[in-house]
């Protein structure tokens, strides 16, 4: 319990054509400091999560955070990147600086602007998060990678189309009440299940409703040590914060197991001294519905091959055994790469302080987060608890 979240900010996610990457970064940095009640001169370190990979012509972005307040000048600022888990990589770097006593207050920002990039280039940029010698020519870009995983899962465990549609419908229903979400529309099971002109197949058995959205957006959190946090307005502790990196080539792994995700969850639960049953909810990385399904198995919620059963039984609905993605997840909220992990931490902190509005899980005590980069290559799990 060495680092605590004491403030946060979150932009709307979506197609933000009137905003710039710099503007989004500046907005959430200012708002997070204000929310925490911390002056810019008291910040010891800045960490920016920004994937880029070609989305922004401005590739040296760490110092853009300084534009939020001139008093941030001369503060150490670093940009970190770990594919789709870039935001959680930034959170972890901030938490480690606090644990090492190199910093007392760290401002963590995650941001991405994707929608100004032409469609074919978006696919090319995202595919850079896979192992190009094996996957560089795969049809459908990164969706093709997960289409390949879905095909293999279906072949081993049977057709999971009903389960995937259930997951998509669940997350879209949850996202309706999230004011930050890109798509606030309850699409329903039937729309998600049936192929149509508006919901065509994209890759393998994955339809458009199985895929997360291309998004712009930013989020920020302020981290402090626990002693400082207890003197602040609010304090949400990182009771566990684990990172597991796996092989990049899928050929070197059992891709249906998400073993890095499994290991990260084991370490986090052990570190926190809790079990999965102690969690009030989980925000997990549903870049594709098949990912959320396999993550149920990796986190220990379901046995191998039975993730779909958990979904169909409603165990992960908001009123189920373990609510998963009450925010709407990446599926409805959106997935601006660098912002996603920071967003997960901000929204989980909101839940634990009772400030989550329409997506609030009643009496939430412990929140779990899983954010991954690539196909379960970079794996981050946090367990958060309010201590003030």
Cβ 246 vs Cβ 376: under 8 Å = yes
- CA angle in degrees (0–180, nearest 5) for 33-37-39: 65
287 is catalytic: no
Reduced to 3 states (helix: H, G, I; strand: E, B; else coil), residue 293 is: helix
Q: What are the residues whose beta carbons fall under 8 Å from the beta carbon of 6, sequence distance 6 or more?
A: 36, 38, 222, 223, 224, 228, 229, 232, 233, 234, 235, 236
Cβ 232 vs Cβ 36: under 8 Å = yes
Q: What are phi and psi of 176, to 5 degrees?
A: -55, -35
The CA-based dihedral angle spanning residues 220, 352, 43, 18, taken in that order and rounded to the nearest 10 degrees: 20
Distance from C-alpha of 32 to C-alpha of 349, rounded to nearest angstrom:
13
Catalytic residue among 4, 84, 211, 261: 84
84 is catalytic: yes
Q: Which residue blocks in the chain are alpha helix, DSSP H? A: 21-36, 86-99, 119-127, 132-135, 141-157, 161-175, 188-193, 226-229, 259-272, 289-299, 307-312, 329-333, 337-352
Cβ 312 vs Cβ 166: under 8 Å = yes
So which residues are the catalytic ones? 84, 335
């Amino acid at each position: 319990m060495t680092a605590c979240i004491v403030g946060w900010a979150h932009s709307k996610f979506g197609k933000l054509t009137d905003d710039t990457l710099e503007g989004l970064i500046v907005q959430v940095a200012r708002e997070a400091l204000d929310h925490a009640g911390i002056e810019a001169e008291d910040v010891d370190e800045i960490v920016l999560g920004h994937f880029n990979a070609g989305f922004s012509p401005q590739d040296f972005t760490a110092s853009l955070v300084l534009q939020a307040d001139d008093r941030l000048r001369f503060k150490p600022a670093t940009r970190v990147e770990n594919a789709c888990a870039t935001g959680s990589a930034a959170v972890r770097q901030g938490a480690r600086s606090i644990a090492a006593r190199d910093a007392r207050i760290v401002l963590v920002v995650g941001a991405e602007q994707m929608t100004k990039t032409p469609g074919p280039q978006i696919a090319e940029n995202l595919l850079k998060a896979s192992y190009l010698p094996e996957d560089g020519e795969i049809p459908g870009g990164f969706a093709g990678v997960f289409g390949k995983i879905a095909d293999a899962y279906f072949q081993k465990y049977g057709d999971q189309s009903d389960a995937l549609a259930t997951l998509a419908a669940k997350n879209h229903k949850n996202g309706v009440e999230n004011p930050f979400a890109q798509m606030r529309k309850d699409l329903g099971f039937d729309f998600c299940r049936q192929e149509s002109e508006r919901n065509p197949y994209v890759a393998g058995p994955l339809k458009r409703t199985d895929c997360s959205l291309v998004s712009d957006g930013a989020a920020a959190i302020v981290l402090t040590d626990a002693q400082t946090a207890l003197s602040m307005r609010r304090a949400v502790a990182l009771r566990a914060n684990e990172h597991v990196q796996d092989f990049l080539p899928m050929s070197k792994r059992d891709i249906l197991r998400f073993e890095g995700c499994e290991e990260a969850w084991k370490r986090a639960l052990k570190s926190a001294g809790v079990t999965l049953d102690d969690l009030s909810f989980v925000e997990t990385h549903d870049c594709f519905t098949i990912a959320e399904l396999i993550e149920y198995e990796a986190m220990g919620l379901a046995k191998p091959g039975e993730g779909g059963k958990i979904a169909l039984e409603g165990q992960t609905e908001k009123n189920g055994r373990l609510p998963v993605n009450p925010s709407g997840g990446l599926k409805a909220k959106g997935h601006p790469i660098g912002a996603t992990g920071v967003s997960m931490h901000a929204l989980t902190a909101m839940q634990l302080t009772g400030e989550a509005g329409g997506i609030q899980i009643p009496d939430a005590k412990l929140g779990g987060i899983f954010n991954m980069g690539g196909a379960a290559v970079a794996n981050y799990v946090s367990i958060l608890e309010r201590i003030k």
